[in-house]
Chains A and B, each alone.
Chain A
Amino acid sequence: MGAIRDVLVPVLIGAALVGFGCAPAVGKEPRAALISKEGAKAPPSHAAVPAAAKASITTPKARKLSEAEARQVLHRLTFGARPGEAEALAHSGLAAWLDEQRYPEQMDDTRGQLALEPFQDALAAPGELLGKFTKASMMGEAGGEPGNEKNLNKMMDFGRLLSFAQMSAIVRQTESRRQLFEVMVDFWSNHFNVYARKGLVKLLAADYVERAIRPHALGKFQDLLLATAQHPAMLVYLDNAESTAPGKMKVGKKVKRGGITENYARELLELHTLGVDGGYTQEDVIGVARILTGWSVERSGTDGPIFKFKERAHDRGEKLVLGEVYPAGGGLDEGLLLLRRLATDPRTGKHLAKKLCARLVADIPPDSCVHSGADAFLKSQGDIRHMLGAIVQSGDFSAEPFQLNKMKSPLEFMVSAIRVLDGKIEGDARRLAKMLEQLGEPLLLQAVPTGYPEAAKQWASAGGALGRMNFAIQLASGTIAGVSVDLERLFPRVDPEALVADVNRVVLSGSGRPETLSAILEKARESENPRERRQVAVALALGSPDFQRQ
């Protein structure tokens, strides 16, 4: 356990608080923000650092990882280990691995890029989507306004767009080398959930993940919060786009009666920042909603719907939120101030640390680990990299009670199954997105703002177990369109004992229980044909209770 505790003490010395709203995206942040234990300034360029020097910056006492520690890292910080990755991690050590993973933009990711190509269209700006996802029956018709929903419903193939958007996430999780980054993108997409079947969100959901979540998934929390708050997908999903100051208002030629909607304001406090025990009141919710009146969407631009602060819809009266007065006459700026305060509030840090630890350590996370994360949040003004570092280096992370103690979510199950078999997604594999829906976790389609649950008790159902066994059978039989696995290459030895040993090592990261292994052995022996034997052994391993844990 020592190895993990010793690395990456994220001491932040004088890291300038990046200006709100104009922070550089991940990757442009100067690495100088990270300083080693010895107090030496990190060199300005990552590429220029010799490997040995790099290691010494973060891990003066690097030692070999135990098999269990390496397994823990790959289970929690990636979507599952491809063959050879555990060995590579053990060889390079945790520090070097983490260092690389925390700066994903500096990693070569040709494979991930290539796999993404077939679904790339979904990531275009919303204004360009109509041209790329025109209904077959509407080909050749005139385009029209990208923000006009009626027009879009008539012209656009939203089913195809949604499946492309879902697949863009799945292929990256499966194929990209930037695994920690993809894990965090999934975490934040869920934390800042939007629902792609509500109104214009269906046009905006992919853009939301691409341009609000991904640039900040390993950056500063306040940049992430602001990006989500101002993204039209969130503004539409939680209705803030329509929330206005009370009173009558001219909208075009019509006079509309205005008023606030509390939806976004409440979820902002409860789910996105302070947490349900954050000590806010109904009055605070109303105050937040009033401050954010006018945070809306311009629907008719040529680039598609974009954020717009509608001055006339804004409530210019005085507000009181969490004991802070927002004087009368404020505009967009008071919303920015509110978000900045929320984004750096210690209660927010605690709430986020608790959620991160629930994902990375245990469904009911140990207090010490939550404290480490919350503390790092405070010290770094909400730097996500630092929080991650603190949680991973907390003694809890790979402590024995927290090994193999979490149940995989359907997404984690599906992607890890493909990865352990070194499967490749090629071409149109949209069936995967559908199968994930049947397993209970369709991406971008969680209607409630809480996102998908983390705890095992929410996923452990007989129906879900059956779905997983069926996915295991289909993946091992090679019958999922667009997904190829080569069991013959992966398992050259067909002698039942040798095969089961290899399956245990490759699929179950060497941790299969004796009961599981003996069941696989028995059924492998009953299978004469080598091809069938491999399929049966692998299907049983992937569908086993052991593989559902991580």
Chain B
Amino acid sequence: MISRRTLLLQSIAAGVGVALNPGAAGAAGAMSAAGAGRAGAGPKKRLVCIFMRGGVDGLNVVVPYADDEYYAVRKEIAVPPPGKGTGSALRLDARFGLNPGLSGLLSLYQNGQLACVHATGSPSLTRSHFEAQDNMESGTPLDSGTRDGWLNRYMQATSVGEVSLLRAVSLGQTLPRALYGSAPAIAIDSVEHFGLRAPERFRERLQSGFRKMYESGKDEPGMAGLSALDTVELVRQKTSGRYVPENGAEYPRSGRALMSVARLLKADLGVEFAWVDVGGWDTHANQGAGEGQLANRLKDLGDSLAAFHRDMGSRMKDTVVVTMSEFGRTVRQNGTGGTDHGHGGVMLLMGGGVRGGRVHGKWPGLNEADLHEGRDLAVTTDFRDVLGQVLNRHLKAPSLAAVFPNPNFSPTPGLRLFA
């Protein structure tokens, strides 16, 4: 049984502890594994974030096939216009087409379940992966001093009473920057093998021994260990047996993380936010066009998202999936059949209430004069504008002041991502 225990996050005495987010010290909040029960109060809105690490080439994800300049500067890596043979783009509208690697998502777009927002990104001018990811995940792209992440700040601002330790789950070994902060979040690598692996005869003894020593540990390893023990008990209770996706959904091998997300979301564990990192987008060389390296990575992602959508079934009306990446890539191809770090890119939105079947945003054009620093797709929609609408319209956030404390961007006129 889960004990109805409440823990208070405490600041570590100065100098003794390390790196516990000083921002977290003042923001003590109550949390408990028992808070999961709250999920019974009605379908909670859920958000799944997919971070495409490495800077995905937005121009080859949602292809501006009507823009001649695109073909002029991407001789070898341009995706051909719709209907022009193998590897040609899948038509979305009169201007844009989808990379054929994302064919799994085409019907979702056509059914109004998927939307694209083009020329989005961060006002931060850095072309460093690390900085750009940091800027995006902190949610304060022009202020690198922020310690916690935007999603964690949203969680802090909306935790009332007891909150599930599994309110935010990152599928993987570590937490993303966006989830740093005082609100509880956990990284789970595998739902199936979650728990202490010890001989039956003394597993309970170890579990209770660990619990005893971790209950008194207030530092980072201490808090992490206690979360682990609580979560183990909870996940054990709620996910037993083999997972069978619903509606005949078939995940590709690379889609295990999203399958685990579906499993956790269905299991009444109080999961509201799930985070999945996907890598392999840093295509400096030989990125290919409608076929090749990038198209293959996109196929893995697209097929996984399509399987997730099918598996979740009617639950998708309460769930939104949003993709993001730290920056787009250079408009012109480089000397090695790839693209270098750029600026504007593309975000995808899928699920409940999304005004799908549209490519949103203001297209800045690809003529040299229109480009950011003469080389990159300009950003016409700040990523916080997109995430802000997700929080506002989907999660019904009362205010974004705490999440994006310095909203130094102008919302894109007419951008309406939700019905």
Contacts and interface: CB of A to CB of B under 8 A. Distances in A.
Interface string B186-202: 11110000111111001
B233 to A, nearest CB: 12
Interface stretch (A317-325, A368-376, A377-385, A468-476): A468-476
Interface stretch (A5-13, A30-38, A119-127, A257-265): A257-265
What band does the interface of chain B fall in when counting residues whose beta carbon is under 8 Å from A?
35 or more
Contacts of B280: 447
Give chain B's interface secondary structure class. Answer: loop
Nearest to A362: B18
Interface string A208-247: 0000000000000000000000000000000100111010
Nearest to A264: B284
A466 B20 CA distance: 20
Minimum-distance CB pairs A-B, first 7: A259-B335, A401-B15, A440-B173, A548-B221, A462-B227, A545-B217, A515-B216
Given A260-B334, A260-B335, A469-B228, A460 B129 contact: no
A523 interface: yes
A266 B186 contact: no
6 contacts: A259-B333, A276-B128, A402-B15, A469-B228, A515-B212, A548-B225
A525 to B, nearest CB: 10
B393 interface: no
Given A462-B186, A523-B205, A527-B205, A457 B228 contact: no
A124 to B, nearest CB: 28
B209 A536 contact: yes
A134 interface: no
A47 interface: no
Given A242-B336, A516-B213, A527-B205, A465 B228 contact: yes
B221 A405 contact: no
B206 A463 contact: no
A170 interface: no
Contacts of B75: 257
Contacts of B175: 458, 461
Contacts of B186: 461-463
B220 A456 contact: yes
B129 A448 contact: yes
A364 B21 CA distance: 11
Contacts of A261: 284-285, 334-336, 338, 340
B43 interface: no
Nearest to B24: A457
Nearest to B220: A460
A540 B210 contact: yes
Contacts of A404: 16
B187 A526 contact: no
B373 interface: yes
Given A456-B18, A462-B187, 10 more contacts: A263-B284, A440-B174, A450-B129, A457-B180, A462-B224, A467-B173, A473-B198, A477-B199, A519-B212, A522-B209
B187 A540 contact: no
A541 to B, nearest CB: 9
Given A440-B173, A462-B186, A462-B227, A523 B18 contact: no
Given A447-B279, A455-B18, A523-B205, A462 B228 contact: yes
A460 B338 CA distance: 36
A175 interface: no
Nearest to A441: B173
Nearest to A265: B340
Nearest to B223: A460
A438 B196 contact: no
A263 to B, nearest CB: 5
Interface in B86-144: 127-131
B362 interface: no
A540 B14 CA distance: 28
A364 B145 CA distance: 13
Contacts of A469: 196, 206, 210, 225, 228
Contact of A463 (B17, B173, B196, B202): B173
A545 B213 contact: yes
A282 to B, nearest CB: 7
Contact of A448 (B53, B220, B284): B53
Contact of A242 (B129, B130, B206, B285): B285
A299 interface: no
